[in-house]
Amino acid sequence: MNVKEIFDSMSYGPAPESSAEAMAWITRHNGAFGHWIDGAFTKPGASFATSNPATGQVLAQVSQASEAELDAAVKAARRAQPKWAKLPGHARAKILYALARLVQKHARLLAVLETLDNGKPIRESRDIDVPLVARHFYYHAGLAQLLGAEHPDLAPLGVCGAVIPWNFPLLMLAWKVAPALAAGNTVVLKPAEYTPLTALLFAEITREAGLPKGVLNIITGDGDVGAALVNHPDVNKIAFTGSTAVGRKIRQATAGTGKALTLELGGKSPYIVFDDADMDSAVEGLVDAIWFNQGQVCCAGSRLLVQEGIADRFHARLKRRMDGLRIGDPLDKCIDVGAIIDPAQLATITAMVDANAEGETYRAATPLPAGCFYPPTLISGLSAASPLMQEEIFGPVLVSMTFRTPEEAVALANNTRYGLAATVWTENINLALDVAPKLKSGVVWVNATNLFDAAAGFGGVRESGFGREGGWEGLLAYLKPAATAKPLKPVAAFPAPKDPETPGLDRTAKLYIGGKQARPDGGYSQQVWSPKGKLLGHVGTGNRKDIRNAVEAAHAAKGWAKTTAHARAQILYYIAENLSARATEFAARLRDLTGANGASEVEASIQRLFTYAAWADKFDGAVKAVPIRGVALAMNEPCGVIGALCPDDAPLLGLISLMAPAIAMGNTCVLVPSEPFPLAATDLYQVLDTSDLPGGVVNIITGGHAELAKTLAGHMDVDAVWSFSSSDISALVERESAQNLKRTWVNNGLARDWAGAAGEGRAFLRQATEVKTVWVPYGE
């Protein structure tokens, strides 16, 4: 080829990275690995092969952990944990800092090994994965340094189990290990079976960094090993990234065990291009969004929504760009698209695409090498309900639809059960910042895509999971209150006396739905007796239908989220004022119900309403110091509809303690009041009615906690469920919540001092909000 021809074609010559060092590292281990337990490798046992997806060549044999090996890893982590947690923050910070430095020192080896094991282009592992890993350890060294001073009341959870996927093997390890260690936990991590090698190399590096034995343990194996780790009784938290199907199983398996849980699951993230977008940049962004890592990315911009007027031009430019993508040997520095992780994944992608008969399918013209490769593909003209529009393909396949108006774009974008990420392209900042909060997703990129940083929270809503990774918000998922809670005794209703006096006037409190009093659907009610054997009244027995009606009313009232925080604060003050005006009556009611002095509970309830009125416009988000020219906004958004089983032990204060933070943050709610002492809540209807609270923002359904919890926790349109009931229902709530993977917050049978500091504050506000990270790069 002469120079003129080179300039004409602009084709690149091959520039392969050598695999020699990485292969030499494998050979030093005789091509077979055991597990990393208590600071050393175990002898290789029953093993399976891990291969290079680009060539099919076996790289090494890796061990399938036995139960005894898993147990040894957990024991090592347990032994090491107290000492690790007791180290001053600075000592942990120094080790995390050393890890960051060592990742940089070994960056080339780590990048090559990652590409060999995973098939991703070396350009990505070298320029994205490994630098982000180092950044994560640097950032968390800082958090370890500051944690004690910033959160003196928090303590580590203990032993954390981490189960990670194959698409970003080392990066996902960093996302789990760095915060866990910074917070003083120890870890047992299971890498994905396709990609265990960089985790094992990292384990060796921890020794160089002086990480004490047992603080990080790595066991390899398949999904059964993952399940065994999840089920191990001596693990305090599970942090999982992977498929929604497995996430759901893990939610069910951990229900009621008291294990903390964060799930980062699948997605079908929209990529919205408005007609005023910088089209070349938007096309380039899209290449990154869907062909980065062959589309095997949980937050891949896999659903293109393009404004109708520019759709033809946009698709044409996109196709031209697709034809220029270079597909092939991932170790070649000129390659854009590497290998699919495994023939099984290739078969899944192929089957999904082949099953589609709708729209037009366009495949990149670039020749496809033999082996585990799939061509960059665009399928346009699909309908919103098409399976390919709804299901995660997890491959280099983009599906596309058009829209006319911003409203339609938002509706289409949100027409998914997922909610991980979204991208918006427009030169109109007003439009971008109007659309971003309306998108149901944990991350929004404006005029950019796939930006990640340790300082900025990443994670989803809906069936994309819950919890954030990165930032202080990510660290908090590895901490708990330092104070130990006492077990909560069941609180029973006072029984009817043997020889009850003839009841006077029948007074049956109704339910409260959509701002109106409603008769219970079943037509049943229960008596409520005082400790002295006096009949205080009747209360409606709510059922499934009542819960459904209440959820519907709560949805209809969702405009509440759009009212200003100032307006919400005023209404909370107003509720407090109206309660205060009737304080004597409420105190008497509480005394009648429980026998305790009600005056202090009423006073505490008024104060609590003031607290959250105060917080309504002060629980700010943040602007994250991310390394771009621009900002990453961490916005505290309401969760949506929150269902809450209220405490039995503080019938009025407990309910107010849950209702007030929920509505202060813009949520609507369905509250099930104290089962034995419901009348304090039913008296509240009038207070709410006279306080300008829009109907449906608060709905109250009296009845049995266990029965109502099941419907509430299983309801597909409820976004979060809290349970502070004294009935033993934490397991039930967590298990049922798996249906739509809603967030849960349960007491696990532990008591809380509702009148004290534990009864209010930031912990409640955090539960009432989701952090949405909106990335807005700026400049020409």
Contact residues for ligand NAI, defined by CB under 6 A: 163-167, 190, 192-193, 222-223, 226-227, 230, 241-243, 246, 249-250, 265-266, 298, 345, 348, 392, 394
Question: CB of residue 246 vs ligand NAI: minimum separation in angstroms?
Answer: 4
Contact status, residue 322 vs residue 420, Cβ threshold 8 Å: no
Instruction: State the DSSP H helix or E strand holding residue 421, giving kind and residue range, or none if neither.
Output: strand 421-425
Question: CB of residue 247 vs ligand NAI: minimum separation in angstroms?
Answer: 7
By beta-carbon distance, which residue lies closest to ligand NAI?
226
Question: CB of residue 175 vs ligand NAI: minimum separation in angstroms?
Answer: 11
Alpha carbons 497 and 536: distance in angstroms, whole number: 13
Alpha carbons 591 and 593: distance in angstroms, whole number: 5
Residue reference for tokens 């998108």: 439
Cβ distance to ligand NAI smaller for residue 420 or 688? 420
User: Tokens representing 409?
Assistant: 């774009």
Which listed residue (69, 114, 193, 264) is catalytic? 264
Question: CB of residue 396 vs ligand NAI: minimum separation in angstroms?
Answer: 13
Alpha carbons 168 and 117: distance in angstroms, whole number: 11
Distance in Å from the first CA to the final CA of the chain: 38
Cβ distance to ligand NAI smaller for residue 98 or 218? 218
User: Tokens representing 240?
Assistant: 């999982």
Alpha carbons 177 and 180: distance in angstroms, whole number: 5
Cβ distance to ligand NAI smaller for residue 233 or 779? 233
Alpha carbons 290 and 269: distance in angstroms, whole number: 10
The sign of the dihedral angle between the CA atoms of 284, 290, 295, 300 is positive
Beta strands 360-363; 216-218: pairing state: unpaired
In order, the DSSP letters of 183-232 are: TT-EEEEE--TT--HHHHHHHHHHHHTTPPTTSEEE----HHHHHHHHH-
Burial of 430 (0-12, 13-18, 19+ CB in 10 A): exposed
* C-alpha closest to that of 514 among 347, 693, 267: 693
Beta pairing partners, 362: 378
User: Tokens representing 675?
Assistant: 């089962």
Q: Is 264 labeled as catalytic in the residue annotation?
A: yes
3-class DSSP state of 515: coil
38: left (phi over 0), alpha (psi -120 to 50) or beta: left
Cβ distance to ligand NAI smaller for residue 263 or 713? 263
Question: CB of residue 266 vs ligand NAI: minimum separation in angstroms?
Answer: 4
Question: CB of residue 745 vs ligand NAI: minimum separation in angstroms?
Answer: 23
Question: CB of residue 372 vs ligand NAI: minimum separation in angstroms?
Answer: 14
Beta pairing partners, 510: none
Cβ distance to ligand NAI smaller for residue 230 or 322? 230
* C-alpha closest to that of 477 among 463, 465, 464: 465
Cβ distance to ligand NAI smaller for residue 394 or 745? 394
Radius of gyration of the chain (CA): 28
Question: CB of residue 456 vs ligand NAI: minimum separation in angstroms?
Answer: 17
Alpha carbons 572 and 509: distance in angstroms, whole number: 24
Alpha carbons 32 and 60: distance in angstroms, whole number: 6
Alpha carbons 237 and 240: distance in angstroms, whole number: 10
Contact status, residue 561 vs residue 667, Cβ threshold 8 Å: yes
Residue reference for tokens 């866990």: 180
Question: CB of residue 82 vs ligand NAI: minimum separation in angstroms?
Answer: 27
Contact status, residue 275 vs residue 425, Cβ threshold 8 Å: no
Cβ distance to ligand NAI smaller for residue 163 or 701? 163
Burial of 641 (0-12, 13-18, 19+ CB in 10 A): buried
Cβ distance to ligand NAI smaller for residue 241 or 667? 241
Cβ distance to ligand NAI smaller for residue 243 or 361? 243
Cβ distance to ligand NAI smaller for residue 225 or 652? 225
Question: CB of residue 297 vs ligand NAI: minimum separation in angstroms?
Answer: 7
Question: CB of residue 464 vs ligand NAI: minimum separation in angstroms?
Answer: 8
Alpha carbons 649 and 76: distance in angstroms, whole number: 40
Cβ distance to ligand NAI smaller for residue 394 or 452? 394
Residues annotated as catalytic (active site), given as ranges: 264
